[in-house]
């Protein structure tokens, strides 16, 4: 586990080992992901899309068709019939 301190302005230094693990360089963008259980995860915003495989999987969740996804998107965008 790594620990760092936050400044009054909300800034912090990412420990060197973490920067190396995430292959971070100056100017890289970071994403903070909040899970359903309230944990916060830090990841590089330059992640290869292949690394996201299975990220949304939840045991017991029913799969949906492309048509159902399109319908849900249209409803959220206010374009439903």
pLDDT at residue number 1: 86
CA distance 77 to 53: 26
Residue 20 located in a structural domain:
yes
Domain range enclosing 6: 1-48
Residue 40 falls inside a structural domain: yes
Residue at 27 is within a domain: yes
Give the per-residue pLDDT at 80. 45
Task: Give the pLDDT score at 16.
Answer: 94
Number of domains the chain is built from: 1
Residue 68 belongs to a domain: no
Q: Residue 35 belongs to a domain with what CATH number?
A: 2.10.260.10
> Does some domain include residue 33?
yes
Question: One digit per residue, pLDDT tens: the chain, 81 residues?
Answer: 899 999 999 999 999 999 998 889 999 999 999 999 999 998 888 867 777 777 777 888 888 899 998 998 888 877 545
Please report whether residue 60 resides in a domain.
Answer: no
User: Rounded to two decimals, what is the model's pTM?
Assistant: 0.51
- The answer as to whether 17 is a domain residue is yes
Q: Is the separation of the CB atoms in 16 and 38 below 8 Å?
A: no
């Amino acid at each position: 586990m790594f620990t760092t301190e936050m400044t009054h302005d909300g800034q912090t230094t990412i420990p060197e080992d973490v920067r190396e693990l995430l292959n971070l360089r100056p100017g890289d963008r970071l994403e903070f992901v909040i899970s359903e259980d309230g944990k916060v995860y830090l990841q590089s915003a330059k992640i290869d899309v292949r690394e996201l495989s299975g990220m949304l999987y939840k045991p017991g969740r029913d799969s949906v068709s492309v048509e159902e996804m399109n319908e849900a998107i249209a409803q959220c965008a206010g374009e439903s019939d």
